[in-house]
Structure 1
Amino acid sequence: MTGTPTARPVPEGQSSLIKQRQDNPEHLRRLLAYSRYYQVAHRWRRARAFGTFVLAAVGPFVSLSIPSTTDLVAAISAGWLVLGRTLLTWMEQRSTLEAVRVHELYDTSLFHLPWNAALAGRRPSPDDVCAAARQIKADTDYREWYSIDLGNTPWPADVLLCQRQSMVWSRQDHRAYGGTILIAGISWFVVGLIVALVRDMSLADYLVKIFLPSAPAFLDSVELARLHWQHATARQQVEHKINDLWQAYITQPETVTVAECREIQDSAYLLRRDGPRVPQLFYKLRRAASEANTKAGTEALRNEGREPDPTP
């Protein structure tokens, strides 16, 4: 005996009105909640980054100015390296997982996509969502979150365009941030070498007094640059899949299915859960450019479907 088929959430050929619905209280509340969880995760990362920066900046100066503190500075640097990569990293990952699960709730509810319990577990508690959302007092910056022009694109193709905006935006941010931190790390390494050469230090003195205190910062910059570039590449692969689905949609609109959008959503969830974080300040500095890029890219895709065939 077959079960009763699930009712279609949006009438055939009609838009799901994502841009109009996204600022409704229930959706905005989930957006604020996952943003709050991401803020907490960023705080743990900033704590780790601040300690690493202080050691990299102050450690060599103290060791060179007060030679008797060399062993102490080296011990503190080694201890911080362990602490940063264990406890602080775990706390960041815990908050990130909470953020990603609420983020998934926001997207699936807004997009009318089914919840994948096998991937994300149970839905987040509404009590926890409300409590987290209340921590953000002003919601002006969170309105019109998906800012691209969807026109009358029918569901679920409108979902595909929103997923694409998120994927492209993040891909560009991760790639740019990876380059930024690598340049910063290499620059700091070169400064240390110059100081050692100017002071005519031996290799042993350089390693203990300059390199060891700076090692956590240098290692973090190299590792993070690699992780961000790998993450950008992974997002670009999903972006290519979205573009292929859109090209198929232009030819045959019925080819874009909810199942395919759900597969894209699965990829987005895993990338958010396992990927590195871009600092909020860096995101804010690039926000205007990222928004303009994704709006222009989406408009170009939508225009492809409206252009007449030039062949006779």
Structure 2
Amino acid sequence: MTDRRPAVRQRPIDPTLSHLLRATAVSHARVRRLAALRLAISAALAGAGLIAVFFGAVTGKPFSVTLSVIGVLWALAYSLGLASWSDRELHRAALLQESFEVRLFQLPWNCILCGDEISPEDVRHLSSRYRGDPPRDHHEMPNLPRPFDVLARQQQNLSWGSRVRRRYAQVVMLAMTGWAMLGLITAMLRNSTITDLFVQWCVPSLGMFMLGWDTFREQRRVATDRRRVCGYSRARCAMLAPANLDPEVNRDLCRMARQVQDQLFLSRRRAPRVPRWFFRRYYTQDSSDFTAGLAEARSTLLAAGLHTRARPRPPDRP
């Protein structure tokens, strides 16, 4: 049977969802600014350390010692204070995005995993600080019966996020490797001793290496978990597609949609979004790929025997 309907449909966004979208954007922007601040300070110290290695005879030993002390203090501040501050803001951003998607997908709120929702007053306060383009008044959903539309949208979110985060983790690891090689080559050209290399370059770069390793590890782990959950969800949907009119199968898939949403929340709470410039760099190609992938997923479910008509109601008793 050929289905001529479009692959997606437009679901309107009410004012409550619009405020949640704005508040989520503001909270994620704060997380990004904190990450950018940590990166800027770490990069400045690491750059100063490289200068100390290259111009060791000019800068002198007092400068190197001072730089090393500052590097150690910054590494401690990163480990003890700034990371916790960023984690709290990241948790709030994840809660706000969870509130939006739970309402959009009409899923129950998981109090055990997420705790309490952000209060409406705080949502409005954050929403009022939004300064970007007005959010869209609609949201694209796969043109599938419930809960397959929710699951297909979650699968797109999982796979897209997995690709972006894995790509960013690779760039971070490449940058750390390049910086380490640059420091070693500079030390070799200057005939620096191991002690000078450690004091002048390794210690000032400690904060940047800690930040880079944490970013690489967290983004890779999130990408791996997202890919695993997406694969399981797709396989389960394809297996149960022919029986989607069965009420028990429908309830089972609704439970799975809530479990997949739990994994999305956990991944967002674990690692921040990639920088906006990095996301936009690949957005056109990624958007084309995953829009086509969503249409292909819909065709696969229909070919597997998914019934697009509503389940018939039992006749009324006379």
1:44 has 2:11 as partner: no
Report what 1:233 is aligned to: 224
Aligned-pair CA distance for 1:305? 2.9
Distance 1:87 1:33 in 2: 25
The aligned counterpart of 1:66 is 59
Distance 1:209 1:279 in 2: 30
Q: Which amino acid aligns with 2:174?
A: I
Which ranges in structure 2 are unaligned for 5 or more consecutive residues?
A: 1-7, 306-318
Paired residues of 1:36 and 1:133 also in contact (CA < 8 A): yes
Q: What is the correspondence of 1:13-28 to structure 2 with a 5 Å cutoff?
A: 19-21=10-12, 23-28=13-18
Query: What is the aligned counterpart of 1:186 among 162, 177, 181?
Result: 177
Same amino acid, percent of matched pairs: 24
| TM-score when normalising by structure 1 | 0.86
Matched, 1:166 2:157: yes
1:214 and 2:205 matched:
yes
Residue of structure 2 aligned with 1:90, choices 84, 94, 98: 84
CA distance in 2, matches of 1:218, 1:88: 15
Whether 1:143 and 2:139 are equivalent positions in the alignment is no
Deviation, 1:273, is: 1.2
Q: Are residue 110 (structure 1) and residue 100 (structure 2) matched? A: no
Equivalent positions of 1:244-259 (< 5 A) are 244-254=235-245, 255-256=249-250, 257-259=253-255
**SS across alignment from 1:66:** helix
> 1:151-210 deviations in whole A, cap 9, x for unaligned?
2x1111111111112111111111000000110011011111111111111111111112
The 8 Å contact of residues 231 and 276 in structure 1, kept in 2 or not, is answered as no
Conservation of the 8 A alpha-carbon contact between 1:19 and 1:144: no
Q: CA RMSD in A?
A: 2.1
1:156–1:261 CA contact under 8 A, matched in 2: yes
Note if contact 1:114-1:262 (Cα within 8 Å) is conserved in structure 2.
yes
Q: Report the Cα offset of residue 95 of structure 1.
A: 0.8
Verify: 1:54 aligned to 2:49, yes or no.
no
* Structure 1 Cα separation of the partners of residues 236 and 136 of structure 2: 28
Structure 1 residues 178 and 145 mapped into 2: Cα distance closer, same or farther (>3 Å)?
farther
Greater RCO (Cα-Cα under 8 Å, separation 6 or more): 2
Moved more, 130-139 or 75-84: 130-139
Q: Residues 91, 308 of structure 1: CA spacing in aligned structure 2 closer, same or farther, 3 A cutoff? A: closer
Moved over 4 A (4+): 144-147
1:168 and 1:236 in contact (8 A); partners too: yes
Which deviates further from its counterpart, 177-186 or 27-36? 27-36
Question: What corresponds to 2:3 in structure 1?
Answer: none
Distance across 1 between alignment mates of 2:64 and 2:132: 48
2:198 alignment partner AA: L
